[in-house]
Amino acid sequence: GAVVSQHPSRVICKSGTSVKIECRSLDFQATTMFWYRQFPKQSLMLMATSNEGSKATYEQGVEKDKFLINHASLTLSTLTVTSAHPEDSSFYICSATGGGQDTQYFGPGTRLTVL
């Protein structure tokens, strides 16, 4: 299967700071990337859909000014959590699709803890 990486795998930050998470497709061109958030014992909740070279589409209830998404190339998307607060602490996971396929390949996730 295709390989998707995320960096960092774990981050701890102070309340009010911004955190950037990178998602890379390593062996294919990802025309679309997705960002999910998962709270403990909950399911994955789609936050936004990102297409290379265009603005991300955010799901209802997700603040686009707080969760900035950039998909500058076919192999890289970034999620920046701005002015992070403790309630933003969660497991953030990206996924990618490409080549007209709808199968999503997930990155390993980033555990964010905001103190």
Partner 1 sequence: QKEVEQNSGPLSVPEGAIASLNCTYSDRGSQSFFWYRQYSGKSPELIMSIYSNGDKEDGRFTAQLNKASQYVSLLIRDSQPSDSATYLCAVDRGSTLGRLYFGRGTQLTVWP
Residues near partner 1 (CB under 8 A): 1, 32, 34, 42-46, 49, 57, 93, 95, 97, 100, 102-109, 111
Identify the residue whose tokens are 């603005």. 55
Contact 67, 35 (CB under 8 A): yes
Measured distance CA(17)–CA(8) in Å, rounded: 16
**Closest distance of CB 6 from partner 1, Å:** 8
Cβ neighbourhood burial of 40 (10 Å; 0-12, 13-18, 19+):
exposed
14 or 41, CB closer to partner 1? 41
With respect to partner 1, which residue has the nearer C-beta, 43 or 86?
43
3-class secondary-structure state, position 86: helix
Q: Which is nearer to partner 1, 85 or 111 (CB)?
A: 111
DSSP annotation of 87: G
What separation in angstroms does the CA of 55 have from each of 6, 70, 98, 112? 21, 8, 18, 24
Q: Shortest Cβ distance from residue 75 to partner 1 (Å)?
A: 16
Nearest to partner 1 of 5, 82 (CB atom): 5
Shortest Cβ distance from residue 92 to partner 1 (Å)?
10
Closest distance to partner 1 from the beta carbon of 14 (Å): 23
